[in-house]
Amino acid sequence: MLALTLILIPLIGSLVLLLLKGSSVSSSKNTALVVSLITLAIAIYAFTTFSPQSTIGVKYSWMKDLNINFHISIDGISLLLVLLTAFLVPLIITSTFKHTYKNHASFYALILLAETALMGVFMARDIFLFYFFYEAALIPVYFIAAIWGGKDAPRITFKMFVYTIFGSLFMLVALVYLYMKGASADIDQLATTAKLLSPNAQNLLFWAFFIAFAIKMPVLPFHTWQPDAYSESPTPATMLLSGLLSKMGVYGLIRIMLPLAPVGVANWGQFGMILSIIGLIYGSIIAIQQNNIKRLIAYSSFAHMGLMAAGVLSGNINGIQGALLQMVAHGVNAVGLFFIVKIIYDRTGTRDLSALGGITQKTPALSIYFMIIMLGSVALPLTNGFVGEFLLLKGVYDKNAWLGGFAGLTIILGAVYMLRLMQRSMFGESNDITAKFKDVSGSEVAVLLPITAIVLVMGLFPNVFLKITEPAVNSILQMMK
């Protein structure tokens, strides 16, 4: 029941918002915030009562004659991502408080709808339910990005939409195929079916899944939609995309691809890792040369996702655990960074790095927040990025030392582009544009403070999170044997 409320509450909230269309801007904002906070409270309650032995979940018949069920359940992996979603959505909503969007009720309703679908993705245990939510999550975000985005948004977000749907259709073929073979839509049961398939079929399954999830994350060479979409979308949509929707891709790799195409992963996983790591280096190098700060963060996201994909594809416990931890860390950091970009843009009207500088003198508070989040992003010890990245590199290294070496470049390259961003925007002499930079306001602190707190808490106590996911990761590794 607890699991179901996590889906229902945002859903009901979004319907209420749609029905109260005529209400004032502040009431839509507050309703959305309250709903997302209730969801967060439930998620935290689930976290405190969670034990790996007991499963929280429900199973209703959805299509009786086809044996397809509405089956949701929370294990450690799900819990981590549910927490991430529940934590980020209120922050994303708060981050919009200074802005008044036209058709505000629909805007917030769509954010809550996206949360509903994300919760569904992270808890679904039935392949078709997973697919259903996986696709459903994209629709609200597409509309947010396209309607409230920049001038070029309709074209760019449309590319994103078609591209990702095209990818997930491959997954649909694979799922239907597995379902036909296994006469069941339950992921755990299908894992046993998958083992009986021929290596050839397994390879095809691997590619179907890999393309679908690689487009979503994205991983090289399927990333072409991402930088444009991230930079043209309004910031809340960018936050949803980078903080949460990209995590559906990694989650899919762990939850769907590893158990359902284990032989395929064994045969082709290394190739996927090579792609991911090339993407990582390529993304980092472009990020180093970017002057548009939003695009810079977009490329850094792309680089980080590459490392996570490589970690999962390594198929060992370190890689997967690292990826899980890094998903949370990157989700939090990306939202924080995009928010800081938004703050800078709102105040100065530019995203051009060369036009900025000296913001520290005007608002030391902002640069402290920025510094902490930035350090999390470059994986300094004692911040949230460190443990995840370390485990990821260990996982990749265990699988293939050469790849591990190349993946290790992320530490250096990441530091280069992030420090460059920090230095050029925050430090130095202030100029005409940044001279009147206002200090951070209350609602902005309300977003930045929880994020920086999590950056430090996760860096100091990574074990809290690692312990939750470990049994679930082990059981997935067991399924692959």
Partner 1 sequence: MYPILVLSVTGLVTLFLGFLKSKKILLPASLLFVAIAFLSNFIDWNAPGLYFYDMLEASNLSIVFSSIILLSAFLVMALSKGFLDDEHAHPAEYFAILQFSLVGAIMMTNFQNLIMLFVGVEILSVSMYILTGSDKRNIRGNEAALKYFLMGSFATGIMLFGIAMLYGANYTFNISDARTLLLQPVTDVRPVFLYVGVTFLLIGLLFKVSAAPFHFWTPDVYEGAPTIFTTFMSTVVKTAGFAAIYRILEVSFSPMYNFWWVMIVTMALLSLFISNITAVSQNSFKRMLAFSSISHAGYMLLAIVGLNNKSGDSIVFYSLAYALATISAFGVLMIVSKDRLVDGRPNENIAVLNGLSKKSPFLAAVLAISMLSLAGIPLTAGFWGKFYVFTDAASRGHIWVLVIAIMMSAVGIYYYFKPIIAAYMKEGEGENIRLSAFYKIILGFTTAGSILLGLFPDLLRELL
Q: Which chain residues interact with partner 1 by CB under 8 A? A: 61-66, 128, 131-133, 135-136, 139, 143, 146-147, 153-154, 158, 161-162, 165-166, 169-170, 172-173, 176-177, 179-180
Task: Report the residue number, 179 or 370, with the smaller CB distance to partner 1.
Answer: 179
Minimum distance from CB of 15 to partner 1 (Å)? Answer: 12
Minimum distance from CB of 355 to partner 1 (Å)? Answer: 30
Task: Report the residue number, 163 or 386, with the smaller CB distance to partner 1.
Answer: 163
Task: Report the residue number, 135 or 398, with the smaller CB distance to partner 1.
Answer: 135
User: What is the DSSP code string of 255-309?
Assistant: IIIHHHSHHHHHHHHHHHHHHHHHHHHHHHHHHHH--BHHHHHHHHHHHHHHHHH
Minimum distance from CB of 386 to partner 1 (Å)? Answer: 38
The Cα-based distances of 171 to 161, 199, 260, 377 in angstroms read 16, 18, 12, 31
Task: Report the residue number, 142 or 302, with the smaller CB distance to partner 1.
Answer: 142
Minimum distance from CB of 481 to partner 1 (Å)? Answer: 27
Q: What is the DSSP letter of 444?
A: H
Minimum distance from CB of 105 to partner 1 (Å)? Answer: 11
Task: Report the residue number, 163 or 437, with the smaller CB distance to partner 1.
Answer: 163
Dihedral, CA of residue 392, residue 295, residue 328 and residue 252, to nearest 10: -70
Contact assessment for residue 407 and residue 392, using Cβ atoms and an 8 Å cutoff:
yes
Strand, helix or coil at 380?
coil
Burial tier of 441 (Cβ tally within 10 Å: 0-12, 13-18, 19+): exposed
CA 25, CA 377: separation in Å to the nearest integer? 34
* Nearest alpha-carbon partner for 472 in 270, 259, 182: 259
CA 407, CA 411: separation in Å to the nearest integer? 8
Minimum distance from CB of 21 to partner 1 (Å)? Answer: 8
* Nearest alpha-carbon partner for 301 in 261, 259, 341, 337: 337
* Helices 104-123 and 25-49, axial angle in degrees (round to 10): 20
Minimum distance from CB of 132 to partner 1 (Å)? Answer: 5
Task: Report the residue number, 113 or 458, with the smaller CB distance to partner 1.
Answer: 113
